[in-house]
């Protein structure tokens, strides 16, 4: 199996902050430990986003054709940290951690509140920090990626220059392509691969240091 771990960061002129350098080093080592390739996606490669003041949408570059050579692709936030408990995530069948709250109602999370035109109640939605897809799933999802015109039409209700984020766009692609309709296991063991440090299993392999937790990496 050919596999790759991808992360995204817009370096700008300042490069990676110290916390990100530390976190990235653990992910690079993890990739070596499980015989996976690693690549950092930089800048703003997803041209459909005409403006992206919060560049989380750029993570969706993991759908690009250039990664189709890989059987499986793992997308991780830059504030994910790999521990010394090495378990190969690519051996599991799930995608990530379902954003169950967001799926319940349009006003249950910012995904629906800010971008109602991209939202469908009950549609599969994941948190964006840890996502594992097969080649076939990625190719199908790519076919449903919204146009620049649609993204421009559906900018945030509250922040007029903010385009849809990665979570709601991915949910849109999943819903409109049916890419996961035959997927039996949608969720990974999030306590071992996707959780916050205060929630993760004591033997977790990947931990998410989001928010102010970054300063504790």
Tokens 């990676």 correspond to: 16
Distance set, CA 168 to CA 3, 11, 121, 149, 188 (Å): 25, 24, 11, 16, 19
Q: Residue 43's pLDDT is what?
A: 87
Residue 51: per-residue pLDDT: 67
- β-pairing, 3-9 vs 72-76, is parallel
**C-alpha dihedral, 195 to 199 to 201 to 202, nearest 10°:** 120
The pLDDT score that the predictor gives to residue 105 is: 97
DSSP code at position 132: E
Instruction: Give the pLDDT score at 15.
Output: 81
Q: What is the pLDDT of residue 5?
A: 98
d(Cα 84, Cα 107) in Å, to the nearest integer?
Answer: 39
Task: Enumerate domains of the chain plus CATH numbers.
Answer: 3-216 (3.90.550)
Two tokens at 49? Answer: 């986003």
Instruction: Concatenate the DSSP letters of all residues of 108-177 into one string.
Output: SSHHHHH-GGG--TT---B-TTEEEEEHHHHHHHHHTPPPHHHHHHT--SSSTT----HHHHHHHHHHHH
Res 53: pLDDT: 64
Provide the whole-model pTM.
0.95
Three-point CA angle 127, 132, 136, nearest 5°? 125
DSSP lists the bridge partners of residue 96 as 187
Q: Averaged in consecutive runs of 10 residues, what is the pLDDT profile of the chain (217 residues)? A: 95 80 97 98 87 80 97 98 98 96 97 97 97 98 96 92 94 98 95 96 97 92
Phi and psi angles of residue 26, each rounded to the nearest 5 degrees, phi first: -70, -35
Find the length of the chain.
217
Q: Provide the pLDDT for residue 40.
A: 96
């Amino acid at each position: 199996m050919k596999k790759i771990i991808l992360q995204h960061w817009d370096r700008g002129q300042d490069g990676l902050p110290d916390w990100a350098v530390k976190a990235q080093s653990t992910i690079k080592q993890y990739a070596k430990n499980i015989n996976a390739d690693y690549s950092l996606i930089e800048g703003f490669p997803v041209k459909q986003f005409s403006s992206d003041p919060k560049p989380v949408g750029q993570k969706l570059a993991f759908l690009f054709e250039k990664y189709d050579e890989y059987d499986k692709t793992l997308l991780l936030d830059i504030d994910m940290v790999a521990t010394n408990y090495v378990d190969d995530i690519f051996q599991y069948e799930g995608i990530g951690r379902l954003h169950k709250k967001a799926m319940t109602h349009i006003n249950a999370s910012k995904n629906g509140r800010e971008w109602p035109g991209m939202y469908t109640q009950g549609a599969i939605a994941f948190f964006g920090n840890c996502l594992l897809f097969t080649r076939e799933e990625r190719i199908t999802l790519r076919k449903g990626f919204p146009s620049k015109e649609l993204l421009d039409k559906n900018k945030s209700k509250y922040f007029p220059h903010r385009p849809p984020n990665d979570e709601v766009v991915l949910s849109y692609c999943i819903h409109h392509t049916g890419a996961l309709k035959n997927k039996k296991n949608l969720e990974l063991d999030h306590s071992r691969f996707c959780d916050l440090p205060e929630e993760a299993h004591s033997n977790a392999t990947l931990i998410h240091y989001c928010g102010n937790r970054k300063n504790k990496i």
